[in-house]
Structure 1
Amino acid sequence: MSVTQMPLAERMRPHTLDDLAGQEHLTGAGSVLRKAIAQGHIPSMILWGPPGVGKTTIAHIIAQALEVPFYTLSAISSGVKEVREVISRAGEESGAILFIDEIHRFNKGQQDALLGAVEKGTITLIGATTENPSFEVNAALLSRCQVYVLKPLDEEQLLRLLHKALDGDERLREKQLQLQEHAALLNLSGGDARKLLNLLELVAETLDKGAEITDEQVMQIAQQRIALYDKGGEQHYDIISAFIKSIRGSDPNGAVYWLARMIEGGEDVKFIARRMVILASEDIGNANPTALVLATNTFQAVNLIGYPEARIILSQCATYLASSPKSNASYMAIGQAQSLVARQGDLPVPLHLRNAPTKLMKQQGYGKGYQYSHDYVQSFSPQEYLPDALAGTKLYDPGKNPREEELRKFLRSLWQKKYGY
């Protein structure tokens, strides 16, 4: 790929610390990274900061300045096998740097595979993460790395990037565009320099030579052309919504398609799994209680496994949930109960249901008349368990599916009027 065919963000990637936007606390005169580069030796490190603030760029600059071999892995698509292969190759060279993007997505096994090489100095590790490494990186690996925090870029720094691209990039300079307004560009990019530059390029390709860039034009072009998955933006919410509704609608095909969209976009496995745990109760519930068991185990499993293998576990769970009978009866029951509490307030607990740990409480009638269920046929006594003002109220109405029809039949045999007679 020629330079002019690269995305604008790649064409504008800084090659020295002096060209980097922001992060003066790490890269300015007398800073820790500048001193380390000058001395020709850098420690293994974790670069922690929001998207598009220079983590990857800093890793490239360090490797170029030290003139050492540079290897890169993505935690989304690389497993233990790939980690070991890179470490093996790097071990044959001196001073090699291994850069791992989104290192927080590596599971324990993948992080452990790095530990020995970092300890022995086989590689110098540079990990990039948007998550707090104290929670997401193994303590053993973290203790062998310096953690450097990158700050969000401010409006002035982002504006400088825009003008630098318009004036300095060969392709954009030919367009002779005028930056009339910039709010939409900054808002849509959310402080992410890479996203900002790629959005600028998209707008520039659409506008005629010599045109003015306005907020209205940017919004129109973005709405028509941007279809990339954005973990922090509207696409994030639209696609998880489509995923959940596909499962709720019993369509495993739609479910696995939207799941693939999230996986390819680098969505957090815990976010996807967490939503399936919720759905297993909200939309399946007692129609298939095993769904919650599988969803909960899926959440635990993907935390241990991580990408890329976690995609298989997520797919198994999603297709199972989509193929399960559906019921929102438990969800509706708690909603109705909360509405009752909001309307009726704190109704007193009936005396026969109250705890009576002291003699005085017993004298006051606490617990009097309570019927111990296991003393009766079928371990059931038809006493009232709701406050007096709500006696006879039905909140849980079993769904119309085989499993809950059995529950309804059982409850009807016990409660009669409340469940059908």
Structure 2
Amino acid sequence: MEPLAERLRPAALDELVGQEHLTGQGSILRKALQQGKIPSMILWGPPGVGKTTIANIVAHTLEVPFYTLSAISAGVKEVREVIEVARKQGHAVLFIDEIHRFNKSQQDALLGAVEKGIITLIGATTENPSFEVNAALLSRCQVYVLKPLGEPELRQLLQQAMEKDVWLREQHIEIKDTAALLNISGGDARKLLNLFELVVDTLQEDEDPVVITDKKVMDIAQQRIAIYDKAGEQHYDIISAFIKSIRGSDPNGAVYWLARMIAGGEDVKFIARRMVILASEDIGNANPNALLLATSCFQAVNLIGYPEARIILSQCATYLASSPKSNAAYMAIGNAQAVVSQTGDLPVPLHIRNAPTKLMKEQGYGKNYKYSHDYENNFSAQEYLPDEIAGTKLYDPGKNAREEELRRYLKAMWKEKYGY
């Protein structure tokens, strides 16, 4: 018997739970399906939120040949075979699951066929397509973002399962608690339904009716759920533990969680990319070399791959964990964005506007601008913010040796203006 999530997979948009912004009445995707023609698209979102389901709905709705490939097992050869078949048929829809796992040459193999309309591509990814999909291919696709399912949608799925599934209808089920089911599923519909089926299957041997409580769900889940699932909750829990260990300056915790991810076959690029982000978010100007090392790590592991990449990842993780920490740069851009959202598009002060034409110069563009290098210490005290927010301090250096040095410099230059 197929898993419950497969047995209940919707065949029409009206049956899909969640993603109303994409599939609801009047939505772009629904209109495209009603017109019988969809654009090439990348469906980006966490596991179990409907990416594969939407592709299957397209297959059931459109009367065109439909082919599916998994980027885990398929290569350029398989892609070209589908394209050749589609060329002979006139047109086909090709669904590629985990398209972020395709390398550049594999993605390039799709370009011509997508551009000429031989295939309509539907790619599914859990990773940011800006990083993982070639710019040329990405420019030929619409990117649709799928959201994690909330508690109401997850409860609706449980109710649907008990009402629609033949096997579940035969069981006498009483759900007393749902917190454990919902928490373990983490917004993943597939994980929720398969866990629900596992719990019912385990309990129905000894209970009639089957009474589901949080304690029973936790006991069964701990016994039966895999240690590490790259597409599931453990993926997010362990990367969270890894990042928090580095942020907390514990190289021992960092390298342990790194080893757990390596043992689970986690994508080296995913690990390295998270360290690049952390190097700016949590270390920043307390140690600018952290970003350089993390960026070099990202480039190196892409060249090397497993198993040797583990050494490079370990070097970077232990260095970042052992580095002084500051989130001042991260807070600065947050502060600046908050000001922008509150004050809108304030005009650029005239003296720091560009003046490439005579008319602009006559209107005062660039007038009274002081070129810093013409002054002592390469500094001139002038206003660089719009009048409405003049003197606003957005960057507050962290309390560490390197940023205290920056603070002293800024105070010496700006005196009391920004309160450094």
Give the TM-score taking structure 2 as reference length.
0.61
Aligned to 1:218: 217
- The 1:16/1:233 distance shift into structure 2, 3 A limit, reads closer
Asked if the contact 2:95–2:121 (Cα under 8 Å) also holds between the matched residues in 1, the reply is: yes
The answer to whether the Cα contact below 8 Å between 2:69 and 2:95 also exists between their aligned partners in 1 is: yes
- Shift in CA distance, 65/234, structure 1 to aligned 2, threshold 3 Å: closer
1:9 maps to 5
8 Å contact from structure 1 (residues 26, 34) kept in 2: yes
CA distance in 1, matches of 2:45, 2:319: 43
Specify the code of the residue in structure 2 equivalent to 1:219.
M
From the superposition, tell whether residues 98 and 228 of structure 1 become closer, same or farther in structure 2 (CA, over 3 Å).
farther
Q: CA deviation at 1:260?
A: 5.6
Q: What residue identity is the alignment partner of 1:46?
A: I
Residues 1:330 and 1:149: Cα distance change in structure 2 (over 3 Å): closer
Partner of 2:233: 233
**How far 1:223 sits from its partner (Å)?**
0.7
**Which of 135, 138, 141 is the aligned partner of 1:139?**
135
> C-alpha separation between the residues in 1 aligned to 2:308 and 2:62?
46
Per-residue deviation at 1:21?
0.4
Deviation, 1:301, is 5.4
Contact residue 298 and residue 313 of structure 1 kept, 8 A: no
Pairing 1:111-150 to 2, within 5 Å after superposition: 111-150=107-146
Q: Contact 1:75–1:101 at 8 Å: present in 2 too?
A: yes
- How has the CA–CA distance of structure 1 residues 216 and 88 changed in structure 2, closer, same or farther, with 3 Å as cutoff? same
Matches for 1:2-401 after TM superposition, within 5 Å: 5-208=1-204, 209-227=208-226, 229-231=228-230, 233-234=233-234, 259=262, 261-263=264-266, 267=267, 269-271=269-271, 299-300=298-299, 303=302, 313-318=305-310
1:27-74 per-residue CA deviation (whole Å, 9 max, x = no partner) reads 222322222222221111111222211111011111111132222222
**C-alpha deviations, 1:194-250, integer Å up to 9, x for none?**
111011011111112412111111111111110152346346666998xx98x989x
Classify the secondary structure of the residue corresponding to 2:64: coil
- The answer (yes or no) to whether the contact 2:45–2:145 under 8 Å persists in 1 is yes
- Larger mean Cα displacement after TM superposition, 226-235 or 164-173: 226-235
Bigger drift between 66-75 and 155-164 goes to 66-75
Return 5+ residue gaps in structure 2 as ranges.
243-250, 279-291, 327-375, 378-400, 402-420
Matched pairs, number: 303
Q: 1:17 to 1:320 in 2, by over 3 A?
A: closer
SS at match of 2:91: coil
For residues 371-418 of structure 1, the C-alpha deviation after alignment (integer angstroms, 9 at most, x for no partner) is xxxxxxxxxxxxxxx9xxxxxxxxxxxxxxxxxxxxxxxxxxxxxxxx
TM-score (norm 1): 0.61
C-alpha spacing 1:75/1:95, structure 2 compared with 1 (3 Å):
same
Shift of residue 275, structure 1, vs aligned partner: 7.2
Structure 1 pair 297–80 and aligned structure 2 pair: CA distance change class (3 A): farther
Relative to structure 1, is the Cα distance of residues 191 and 330 closer, same or farther in structure 2, using a 3 angstrom cutoff? closer
2-side partners of 1:112 and 1:157: how far apart? Answer: 38
Tell me, in whole angstroms, the C-alpha distance in 2 between the residues paired with 1:80 and 1:106.
Answer: 9
3-state SS of 2:89 partner? coil
Conserved 8 A contact 2:111-2:137: yes
Q: CA deviation at 1:162?
A: 0.3
CA 1:217–1:44: 2 relative to 1, 3 Å: same
Larger Rg: 1
Contact 1:274 1:299 in 2 (8 A): no
Displacement of 1:24 in angstroms is: 2.2
In structure 1, C-alpha distance between the alignment counterparts of 2:7 and 2:195, rounded to whole Å? 14
SS across alignment from 1:262: coil
1:101 and 1:129 in contact (8 A); partners too: yes
CA contact under 8 A between 2:268 and 2:305: conserved in structure 1?
Answer: no
3-state SS of paired residue (1:315)? coil
What are structure 1's unaligned runs of at least 5 residues?
279-291, 306-311, 339-357, 360-385, 387-421
Moved more, 110-119 or 124-133: 124-133
- Matched residue type, 2:299: Q
Distance change in 2, residues 1:317/1:147 (3 Å) = closer
Matched residue SS, 2:114? helix
Structure-2 change in CA distance of 1:84 and 1:175 (3 Å): same
| Rounded Cα–Cα distance in structure 2 between residues aligned with 1:213 and 1:14 | 25
Given residue 114 of structure 1, which amino acid in structure 2 is its aligned partner?
Answer: L
Deviates further, 114-123 or 127-136:
127-136
Which deviates more from structure 2 when the two are superposed, residues 81-90 or residues 124-133? 81-90
Compute the RMSD of aligned alpha carbons: 3.9
Mapped to 2, the partners of 1:238 and 1:190 lie a distance apart of: 14
Contact 1:229 1:236 (8 Å CA) reproduced: no
Partner Cα separation in structure 1 for residue 296 and residue 74 of structure 2:
23
User: Alpha-carbon deviation of 1:314?
Assistant: 1.4
What is the Cα deviation at residue 331 of structure 1? 8.0
Question: Is the CA contact (8 Å cut-off) linking 1:302 and 1:313 kept in structure 2?
Answer: yes
Give the partner amino acid of 1:214: T
